[in-house]
Every structure is written in C-alpha cells, then in structure tokens.
Amino acid sequence: MKHFIDFHTDVTIDELDALINTAIDLKAKTKASVPHPILSGKSLGMIFSKSSTRTRVSFEVGMYQLGGQALFLSSDDIQLGRGESIEDTAKVLTRMLDCIMIRTFSHQDIVDLARYGDIPIINGLSDDQHPTQALADLITIKEHKGSLKGLKLAYVGDGNNVANSLLQACAKAGMHISVATPSTHACPQFYVDQALADAKITGSEILITEDPVAAVNDADVVYTDTWTSMGQEDQKAERVKIFSAYRVDKTLMSHAKPDAIFMHCLPAYRGYEVTEDIIDSPCSVVFDEAENRLHAHKAILVHCLANEQ
C-alpha cells in the first residue's frame, strides 16, 4: 500500500482485511503492554491545516508506540502556510521524512503531495474524505459484531467527508450501506459511483435516499456526524433547520435491529444530530470508536512503511 488517501483508489479488498487484522493485533499488544517498535527509526510528519484532538493524539502516540517519531507541523510552522507550493513542500519533506500525514481542507492538496513526493501520504482528513476514521469504524463494527460482510450500516445526516469514506469503506468490505441526506446535501455522485463499482465485486448493497427511516430500517449500525463541520460555523442556524428531520433519537433507532449499535466520529453535539438518550446509552460505541483511531492509524503506518523495513 503506497498511500492511504481513499479506500477506492488505494486499498484493495485483501489490503483492507490485512489493515483491520493488523489493527486488532496491535491493539491486543497495546492492551497487554507488549512492545512493538515495528517502525523504529522512522519519522512521520503531521501537517495540520485543520486542528484536531483525536487525529493528532492518535498519530503521535501511535508513532511513539511503534518506535518512531512524529513531528507536528501546523500551517504556522511550515512555509506551505505562507505561500510555498505543494510541489516544493512535497519535494523538501520527502528528503527528510519517511511518511506524511496531512489534515487539510482541499483534497487536491493531498493528491498533489502524493504526486510530487516519493514517500507515503496519509489522508488525515480533507473536505472530501476521512478514510482514517472509516477504518477505525470498520474495526469497531467487527469487534462488536464479529464480522463485516452482509451487515447493514445506515448513515443519517450530512453527505460530508465521513459519509463519502463510509460509502467507499463499506462497499470495499462487502457491507450494505444506506445513506439518508437532504437532497441539497447529498454525497457527490462521483463517490457514489466509486462505491457502486466496488459493490459489484463484494456484493455490497447501496441505498441513497432522503428518508432517514428507510435508511435505518433493519440496520445493524446507525451512524451520524455533526451537522456543522469546521469552517461552516456561520451556517449553523440554517443547517439546524435543514437537518432537524435527520436527528438520531429513540424513535429513529427503533427502526434498526434491536441489537443495533450507534456510532459517531465525534465531536458530537447532543440535542442536535443525536439525543443524549442514544449517544449515552448502552447501544452507543462512540468511545470504542474513538479509541480505535489509535490502532487504525498504527495499522496504516505499518502498511504504508512495510516495504521500507
């Protein structure tokens, strides 16, 4: 696996299985306090144009546990934030680092880093995709359900980067996925078409709808995300009106299977996209999901740098 930018382009079906199994194995080693300095001597540059709690901590701690070193690079710390081109940044950092994780706004910036650099590039989040989160989600589902293929995940809310990556990840894993969004905030057809292409191979079934009840019906997993992402704060009032019918509450959850789990990538805003009696209930696995970011990121790092060991 050269890069980890999105599931459709960079991860095969076999590689996805390997990533999940690696993450589960590394998690077991972590819990048992078994050292695993697989990436001793390796360095990870972490470029953050968008701030984050979970992404920074999980990659930094993960690289430390793998025996390597992580360097935090905010837009104030590097020349990329002062007008240096992506091409020049990629060529410079490639000569000093073994891997780059970037969390930014423009997805094209990540693609260009991979194009001009010679080291693995990991997409820590863009406006289009959030694949590291989706991998942690699959790991969490497998832990709670025992397997992935044939399960149904229902995503309800904004057709954003998380939804796009879940479409790709579920299709690649052979999971059925239904996505319910307002028509004005649907997932781009480009990502739907990519998921449909993989679904033909894995047997995944994909439903795109405006009806949250239709999406959640008989689901094994119900998933939502914030209605107002970073950079959209000035749209909050408008978005609350648009998405109010997509709130995950007891009524909506009642249409899922009785043993359905609830997921959210966090941060969550109780009373908006999800009610307290769901996110703080026994069916919620949001903190398992958050913890698995650490193990998912470690697995990605290992697989991206495996050829250099």
Active site residues: 103, 130, 133, 225, 265, 293
CA angle 75, 301, 224 (to 5 degrees): 70
* 207 and 177 Cβ atoms separated by less than 8 Å: yes
H or E segment and range at residue 309: none
Element (H, E) at 269: none
- φ, ψ (nearest 5 deg) of residue 286: -65, -30
User: Which one, of 163, 6, 132, 126, lies nearest residue 59 by Cα?
Assistant: 132
Q: How far is CA 161 from the centre of its chain?
A: 8
Phi-psi region of 192 (alpha: psi -120 to 50; beta: other; left: phi over 0): alpha
Do the Cβ atoms of 40 and 67 come closer than 8 Å? yes
